[in-house]
Amino acid sequence: MQKIALITGVTGQDGSYLAELLLSKGYQVHGIVRRASLFNTDRIDHLHVGEAPNPSFHLHYGDLSDAGALRNVLDDVQPDEVYNLGAQSHVRVSFDQPEYTVDVVGVGVIRLLEAIRSYMKHSGKKIRFYQAGSSEMFGSAKPRQHEGTRFEPRSPYACAKVYAHYQVINHRESYGLFACNGILFNHESPRRGETFVTRKITRAATRIKVGLQDKLFLGNLDAKRDWGFAGDYVEAMWRMLQQDQPDDYVVATGESISIRDFLGLTFGRLDLDWQKHVEIDPRYFRPAEVDHLEGDPGKSRKFLGWEPKTDIRTLAAMMVDSDLRLAQKELVLRDAGHAEAPRAGYR
């Protein structure tokens, strides 16, 4: 029997890699897309449009703020596995939009869990559930953080993820739902949103290299993060739902570097000196900062047999090389007299 998966946040970085992974394993994959005034499916268009759309890939309109729509999609899709990746996922933005962030990231999870509970009760079918938890939940807790480390969240986003984490455990313990929290440390890729710091840096460095811009404005360069490759991390999500028992797992590389070091790696690959191009803009500082996240992936390694395959140097090179191709295309367009694509992400 072909397994059926439902992914919220399918249009995001992780959603696109997870959809590809599940399709490669023979799943029928359904994704929830929210309505937008512009196209928001760039990362998954290769799966559902063009000459050879994948017949096992389907999209549905829905939103984590709309309980009725979630319940209806469950009825239509009848999934075996649900992966909840949808979120207002930008930490800095969560300070500007705290109530909205908590509604989608926190309350959205209880809407989805209750929709699943109602669906299982009426259909008699069992669903396995994955929740995209975050290392941000650890906040100011000292590294290396592991599954037993106390949460000390430092943003509305992180507080909402902590709330969601415990709602998932509560559904597991109260109703016997097969539900797992993945506590994932930062993971990046050429598909990373352009307002997150790694991609912001690789986009700017490569555009500086080809002469399309000269300056890059950043906030705190001293924060340290444990950065892995998103393509590796979606494999861990899937493995969690294939175990005999549901549990919670940290997914990380176990190594961390600062933003400053990441600048050195990326600009260095392009033979550029980042100090000549980077300026500090206090707009990018956060009301409360998370200084140092470095995860202990021991439990994932032991019980999921999961290992990160991509180290930070390889990841930085992958992102720089991909963005250099993009910058070169933009240069050709500009030289051909076409307007230069605007590169002014607000955050």
Q: Would you say 16 or 206 has its CB closer to ligand NDP?
A: 16
Task: Please report whether residue 153 would count as binding ligand NDP according to CB under 6 A.
Answer: no
Sequence-ordered strand ranges (E) for the chain: 4-8, 28-33, 57-61, 81-84, 128-134, 178-184, 187-188, 216-218, 224-225, 228-229, 249-251, 257-258, 278-280
Task: Please report whether residue 1 would count as binding ligand NDP according to CB under 6 A.
Answer: no
Taking the complex as a whole, how short is the minimal distance between the CB of residue 242 and ligand GDR, in angstroms? 24
Task: Please report whether residue 115 would count as binding ligand NDP according to CB under 6 A.
Answer: no
Which residue is listed with tokens 């979630």?
70
Tokens of 113: 């869990």
**Residue 300: active-site member:** no
Task: Please report whether residue 106 would count as binding ligand NDP according to CB under 6 A.
Answer: no
Which of 57, 3, 54 minimizes the C-alpha distance to 31?
57
Which residue is listed with tokens 């943003």?
155
* Interacting partner of 261 out of ligand NDP, ligand GDR, none (Cβ under 5 to 8 A depending on kind): none
Taking CB atoms, the residue at the shortest distance from ligand NDP is 12
> For residues 137 and 132, what is the distance between their CA atoms, to the nearest angstrom?
11
* Interacting partner of 143 out of ligand GDR, ligand NDP, none (Cβ under 5 to 8 A depending on kind): none
**In sequence order, which residues have a C-beta less than 8 Å from that of residue 75 and are 6 or more positions away?**
119
* Interacting partner of 303 out of ligand NDP, ligand GDR, none (Cβ under 5 to 8 A depending on kind): none
* Interacting partner of 9 out of ligand GDR, ligand NDP, none (Cβ under 5 to 8 A depending on kind): ligand NDP
What separation, in Å, do the N-terminal and C-terminal C-alpha atoms of the chain show? Answer: 45
**In sequence order, which residues have a C-beta less than 8 Å from that of residue 104 and are 6 or more positions away?**
64, 65, 86, 87, 88, 160
Catalytic residue among 16, 89, 94, 134: 134
Sign of CA dihedral 43, 44, 45, 47: positive
Residue count at the site for ligand NDP (CB under 6 A)? 26
Q: Would you say 66 or 261 has its CB closer to ligand GDR?
A: 261
Which of 31, 27, 38, 29 minimizes the C-alpha distance to 11?
31
- What are the two backbone dihedrals, phi and then psi, of residue 221, each rounded to the nearest 5 degrees? -95, -5
Helix (H, G, I), strand (E, B) or coil at 134: strand
Show the binding pattern over residues 269-288: x = contacts ligand GDR (CB under 6 A), - = does not.
---------------x-x--
> Pick from 56, 195, 213, 328: which binds ligand GDR (CB under 6 A)?
195
Taking the complex as a whole, how short is the minimal distance between the CB of residue 218 and ligand GDR, in angstroms? 4
Q: Would you say 159 or 212 has its CB closer to ligand NDP?
A: 159
Catalytic residue among 27, 157, 163, 233: 157
Taking the complex as a whole, how short is the minimal distance between the CB of residue 71 and ligand GDR, in angstroms? 26
> For residues 251 and 184, what is the distance between their CA atoms, to the nearest angstrom?
5
Residues 50-89 that bind ligand NDP (CB under 6 A): 63-65, 85-89
Show the binding pattern over residues 87-106: x = contacts ligand GDR (CB under 6 A), - = does not.
--x-xx--------------
Taking the complex as a whole, how short is the minimal distance between the CB of residue 44 and ligand NDP, in angstroms? 9
> Pick from 98, 143, 193, 264: which binds ligand NDP (CB under 6 A)?
193
Which residue is listed with tokens 């933003």?
259
Which of 4, 28, 6 minimizes the C-alpha distance to 83?
6
Which residue is listed with tokens 């995860």?
295
Q: Which residues bind ligand GDR (CB under 6 A)?
A: 89, 91-92, 134-136, 186, 195-197, 200, 218-220, 223, 225, 259, 284, 286, 289-290
- Residues catalogued as catalytic: 134, 136, 157
Q: Which residues bind ligand NDP (CB under 6 A)?
A: 8-9, 11-15, 32, 34, 36, 40, 63-65, 85-89, 104, 132, 134, 184, 186-187, 193
